[in-house]
């Protein structure tokens, strides 16, 4: 333990904490605007600019998916470590831990299908820039690697690692590599359940590298540098909508 | 007196087969501050299934570790600032002891190991813990501790979240810690969920914990 310096205040609050709730609804004609899930999260931003999110996700659509994830990035949005625990159809699917180093990422996991697995995946393009844990709140974090100074267009993250290649993240958790294309469409003022915000509008175009093609995914994030997920929607067969319904700063 | 010195926000999920998962974010403001993300899943009999603990001390990374409890082995895969990358295997016989990840709500779950048919008796049992530090500010690794707990009885209490009938437990000693832990009184719900309602540590700590909000979303 670090000795307490009597010349410093007894408390130390160098971090900030925000909490949010994201609602999941359907845009399919037969289920228009029906709630189909929700996500509760807490983000701690440390004094050095790194941040950790703890997020609890519930997808009600059968088979239901529950996911708890705790994910940390450094001040440059580079992944540090992640925990993912999955329940599918109310039954255990898997629990795993990911640790990112400069040259590789390791995964220690136990899944209902694969059993106890240790993985190590060498990075092909330098330190890992982003990790997909399938929490909606973290989908917007990928775009921190888009260079906004170059204006609208398409930029890529050459290597993204996922905890699952399933569109709902309902397998594993285990490592899966992917390239991520990011399209920046510009800024807009939007209103969501949590309020009115200036937003960056991004899109992930159709991704053909997954086992099943993922439809285009629109994502709106805050413009304050925190890349807080505001709103999103997946087209194609999914027709899903995600929206920030509650957001508050609780500490700092 | 009564100054806020931290807070904890948690989500508990109950599954049809009796499993429960808790996900907790704890903040201790007292210098050096401790920030902790804890996830613990226990089966219907309160045996741990898996867990995760991530701690920041003094606003700097201290450790991140994953636990799995099965087939007579408690395993821990962890990376800590002091110890580096560790893989630990701790064997156990029979039912796996409970796991304490130092979330205060997790302390309520520890009380599920107490035999309620023996009020007033000192009961000692094994616990696996992520840290033997009183604030849980080391590791996370895996260690064994042996708390001695008295089930005092049931009481009606009022906390910020409302009025409840509560089981009252008193932790009178904990073997296996490098420093003696002061007496710790804990009150939990009596509905089988062992939700932490109130707690008080005596001695040098003089800390108080109280459930101030409780919402059932689904």
A1·B32 Cβ contact <8 A: yes
Rounded distance between C-alpha atoms, residue B187 and residue A27, angstroms: 46
Answer whether residue B166 shows pLDDT above 60.
yes
**Pick among B8, B22, B24, B25 to test the A interface (most A CBs inside 10 A):** B25
Tell me, yes or no, whether B116 lies in a domain. yes
Contacts of B26 in chain A (CB under 8 A): none
Residue B140 confidence (pLDDT)? 98
3-state secondary structure of A217: strand
Q: Which of A2, A44, A48 sits opposite B35 (nearest CB)?
A: A44
Instruction: Return all residues near B15 (Cβ < 8 A) that are at least 6 apart.
Output: A87, A90, B21
Tell me, yes or no, whether A90 lies in a domain. yes
3-state secondary structure of A55: strand
Tell me, yes or no, whether B217 lies in a domain. no
Helices (H), strands (E): how many in chain A?
Answer: 1, 15
Rounded distance between C-alpha atoms, residue A101 and residue A92, angstroms: 29
How many CB atoms neighbour CB A69 within 10 A? 28
Rounded distance between C-alpha atoms, residue A100 and residue A241, angstroms: 31
Contacts of A24 in chain B (CB under 8 A): none
Residue A214 confidence (pLDDT)? 78
Residue A44: closest CA among B209, B33, B157, B88: B33
Helix (H) or strand (E) holding A131: strand A130-132
Tell me, yes or no, whether B158 lies in a domain. yes
Tell me, yes or no, whether B100 lies in a domain. yes
Contact at 8 Å (CB) between A229 and A22? yes
Contacts of A92 in chain B (CB under 8 A): 19, 49
Residue B15 in contact with partner chain A when CB distance is under 8 A: yes
3-state secondary structure of A144: helix
- DSSP characters for chain B? -----EEEEEEEEE-TTS-EEEEEEEEE-BSSPEEEEEEEEE-TTS-EEEEEEEEEETTEEEEEEEEEEETTEEEEEEEETTTEEEEEEEE--SSPPEEE-S-HHHHHHHGGGS-TTSTT-EEE--EEES-SSTT--S----EEEEEEEEEEEEEEEEETTEEEEEEEEEEEEEET-SSPPPPEEEEEESSSS--EEEEEE-TTT-EEEE--------
Domain count for chain B: 1
Contact at 8 Å (CB) between A112 and A99? no
Q: Which of A1, A50, A251 sits opposite B133 (nearest CB)?
A: A1
Tell me, yes or no, whether A230 lies in a domain. yes
Residue A100 confidence (pLDDT)? 98
Domain count for chain A: 1
Confidence bin at B148 (pLDDT 50/70/90): very high
B30·A12 Cβ contact <8 A: yes
Report the half-sphere exposure of B159 (CA within 13 A, side-chain side): 22
Contact at 8 Å (CB) between A98 and A82? yes
Tell me, yes or no, whether A9 lies in a domain. no
**Pick among B66, B86, B178, B179 to test the A interface (most A CBs inside 10 A):** B66
Task: Go through B187-208 and write b for each residue having 16 or more CB atoms within 10 A of its CB, e for each that does not.
Answer: bbbbeeebbbbbbbbeeeeebe
Structural domain range at position B91 = 6-210
Contacts of B19 in chain A (CB under 8 A): 92
Tell me, yes or no, whether B218 lies in a domain. no
Residue A60 confidence (pLDDT)? 95
A12·B65 Cβ contact <8 A: no
Residue B218 confidence (pLDDT)? 64
How many CB atoms neighbour CB A112 within 10 A? 14
The CATH number of the domain holding residue A28 is: 2.40.360
Rounded distance between C-alpha atoms, residue A16 and residue A33, angstroms: 33
Q: Which of B9, B11, B137 sits opposite A1 (nearest CB)?
A: B137
3-state secondary structure of A31: helix
Contact at 8 Å (CB) between A52 and B54? yes
Per residue in B76-90, pLDDT (tens digit) is: 999 999 999 999 999
The list of chain A residues with pLDDT below 50 reads 1-2
Residue B108 confidence (pLDDT)? 96
| Residue at token pair 């440059």 | A76
Structural domain range at position A52 = 16-251
**Pick among A42, A74, A173 to test the B interface (most B CBs inside 10 A):** A42
Rounded distance between C-alpha atoms, residue B81 and residue A74, angstroms: 15
Instruction: Return all residues near A93 (Cβ < 8 A) that are at least 6 apart.
Output: A86, A87, A111, A112, A113, A170, A171, A172
Residue B14 in contact with partner chain A when CB distance is under 8 A: no
What is the complex's ipTM, to 2 decimals?
0.93
The residue in chain B having the minimum alpha-carbon distance to the alpha carbon of residue A96 is B66
The residue in chain A having the minimum alpha-carbon distance to the alpha carbon of residue B6 is A11
Residue A8: closest CA among B123, B30, B96, B44: B30
Residue A154: closest CA among A212, A216, A240: A216
Tell me, yes or no, whether B192 lies in a domain. yes
Residue A4 confidence (pLDDT)? 63
The A residues from 198 to 217 touching B (CB cutoff 8 Å) are none
B15·A87 Cβ contact <8 A: yes
- For residues B119-127, give the mean pLDDT: 96
Q: What percent of chain B shows pLDDT beyond 90?
A: 89
Look up residue A192 and give its two tokens.
């969501």
Bridge partners (DSSP) listed for residue B173: B148
Tell me, yes or no, whether A6 lies in a domain. no
Answer whether residue B203 shows pLDDT above 90.
no
């Amino acid at each position: 333990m670090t000795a307490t310096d009597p010349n410093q205040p007894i408390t130390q609050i160098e971090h900030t904490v925000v909490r949010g709730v994201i609602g999941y609804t359907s845009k399919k004609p037969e289920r228009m605007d029906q709630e189909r899930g929700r996500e509760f999260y807490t983000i701690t931003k440390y004094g050095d600019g790194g941040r950790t999110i703890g997020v609890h996700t519930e997808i009600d659509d059968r088979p239901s998916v529950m996911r708890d994830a705790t994910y940390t990035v450094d001040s440059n949005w580079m992944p540090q470590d992640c925990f993912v625990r999955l329940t599918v159809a109310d039954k255990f699917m898997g629990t795993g831990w990911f640790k990112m180093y400069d040259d590789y990422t390791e995964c220690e996991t136990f899944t209902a299908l694969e059993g106890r697995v240790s993985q190590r995946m060498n990075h092909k393009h330098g330190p890992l820039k982003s990790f997909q844990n399938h929490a909606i709140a973290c989908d917007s974090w990928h775009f921190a690697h888009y260079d906004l100074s170059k204006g609208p267009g398409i930029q890529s993250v050459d290597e993204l690692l996922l905890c699952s290649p399933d569109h709902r993240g309902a397998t594993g958790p285990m490592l899966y590599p992917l390239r991520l294309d990011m399209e920046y469409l510009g800024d807009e003022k939007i209103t969501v359940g949590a309020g009115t915000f200036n937003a960056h509008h991004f899109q992930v175009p159709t991704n053909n590298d997954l086992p099943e093609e993922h439809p285009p995914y629109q994502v709106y994030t805050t413009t304050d540098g925190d890349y807080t997920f505001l709103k999103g929607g997946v087209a194609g067969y999914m027709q899903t909508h995600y929206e920030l319904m509650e957001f508050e700063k609780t500490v700092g | 007196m009564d100054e806020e010195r931290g807070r904890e926000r948690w989500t508990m999920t109950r599954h049809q087969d009796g499993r429960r998962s808790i996900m907790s974010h704890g903040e201790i403001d007292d210098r050096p501050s401790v920030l902790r993300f804890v996830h613990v899943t226990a089966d219907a009999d309160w045996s741990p299934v898996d867990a995760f603990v991530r701690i920041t001390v003094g606003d700097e990374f201290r450790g991140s570790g994953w636990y799995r409890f099965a087939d007579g082995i408690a395993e821990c895969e962890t990376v800590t600032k002091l110890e580096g990358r560790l893989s630990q295997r701790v064997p156990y016989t029979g039912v796996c002891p409970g796991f304490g990840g130092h979330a205060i709500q997790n302390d309520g779950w520890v009380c599920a190991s107490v035999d309620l048919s023996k009020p007033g008796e000192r009961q000692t049992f094994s616990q696996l813990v992520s840290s033997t530090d009183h604030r849980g500010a080391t590791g996370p690794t895996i260690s064994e501790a042996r708390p001695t707990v008295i089930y005092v009885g049931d009481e009606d209490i009022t906390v910020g979240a409302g009025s409840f009938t509560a089981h009252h437990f008193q932790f009178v000693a904990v073997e296996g810690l490098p420093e003696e832990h002061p007496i710790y009184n804990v009150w939990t719900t009596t509905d089988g969920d062992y939700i932490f309602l109130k707690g008080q540590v005596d001695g040098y700590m003089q800390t108080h914990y109280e459930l101030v909000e409780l919402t059932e979303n689904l």
